[in-house]
Structure 1
Amino acid sequence: MQIKYIDDLLQTSITIRYKGHNLTIDRLVIDTGAAHTLLSSDIVAQIGIHYENGDRLVRSFGIGGEEYSFRKQIEQVQLGGFIMNNPFIDFGVLHENIDHINGLIGLDILKRGNMIINLHRMEMHPTFSHHD
């Protein structure tokens, strides 16, 4: 899969599936410093993902300070040739000053896919193609 270098950030796309609906999300930062993937709750609302009773609330800390999100199990994440079934993904509102990105791909997905990031070729690929 191709990596884009935009605004000094490595960006790519993923496709998620929730209740039978697929959504491809662009402008996601590949963030090896983030423990968990975080997707914009505004973007995923179009396929019915929103906070519901029983969803876990998550508090995280980063350069931007303290953030709150909710964690929900979805049917599938596809990142290039890597497919992850039934993952728990974090959803929330991103900082106002980073409205040009739709989320972060964190180590929860990058490590499960054992992703190889080739900065010379600006490509990323898993060492295997399917994981449950």
Structure 2
Amino acid sequence: MNLFYDGQLITTSLIVTFRGEALKIDDVIVDTGSSHTVISPDILETIGVKYENGDTIYEAYGIGGSVPFYTKNMDKIQIDSFTIKDAQVDVGMLPQEHSALLGLDILKQYNFIIDLDKLELCPSMREKGD
């Protein structure tokens, strides 16, 4: 799958599906410094994602301070032709111009290879531990 580099950030696109509703998200930051995949609630509300009783809430800490997040299970996340079923993402506010981060929870679990020369993101053929 293609990556894009704007001189500062590496981004890609993905499709999330929640309760049968799909949404394509462009300009998703490939963030090896983020332990979790995070999507803005403003983006996800278009497909019906909202906080519900029982959703796990926690606080994330970073350079800019702390921000509350909640965790939601997506039916699937598709990155190009690679599909992850029953994927968990964090829902929380991101800096203004960003709508999502693809974090290490997905990148590491599926052994994605980031080829910076070719600007490609490739999943390995097996999950970690197989």
Q: After TM superposition, is the score higher than 0.5?
A: yes
SS at match of 1:86: strand
Q: Any residues of structure 2 matched to 1:14-29 within 5 Å, and which?
A: 14-29=14-29
Runs of 4+ in structure 1 over 6 Å off: none
C-alpha deviations, 1:30-86, integer Å up to 9, x for none? 010111000011001000001111111121111221111110111101112321111
TM-score, normalised with respect to structure 1: 0.90
Structure 2 length-normalised TM: 0.91
Identify unmatched segments of 5+ residues in structure 1. Answer: none
Give the aligned length.
128
Any idea what the Cα deviations from partners look like across 1:98-125, whole Å, max 9, x if unmatched?
x222111101110122111011111111
Question: Which structure 2 residue ranges, 5 or more long, are not aligned?
Answer: none
Residue type of the partner of 1:114? N
Q: Give the alignment's Cα RMSD to 1 decimal.
A: 1.7
Identity %: 37
Change (3 A) 1:101 1:61: same
Once the two structures are superposed, what CA deviation does each residue of 1:4-30 show, in whole Å capped at 9, x if it has no partner? 112500011111110111111111110
Q: Is the 8 A contact 1:39 1:104 kept in 2?
A: yes
> Secondary structure, in 3 states, of the residue corresponding to 1:87?
strand
**Alpha-carbon contact 2:74-2:86 (below 8 Å) kept:** yes
Name the amino acid aligned to 2:53.
N
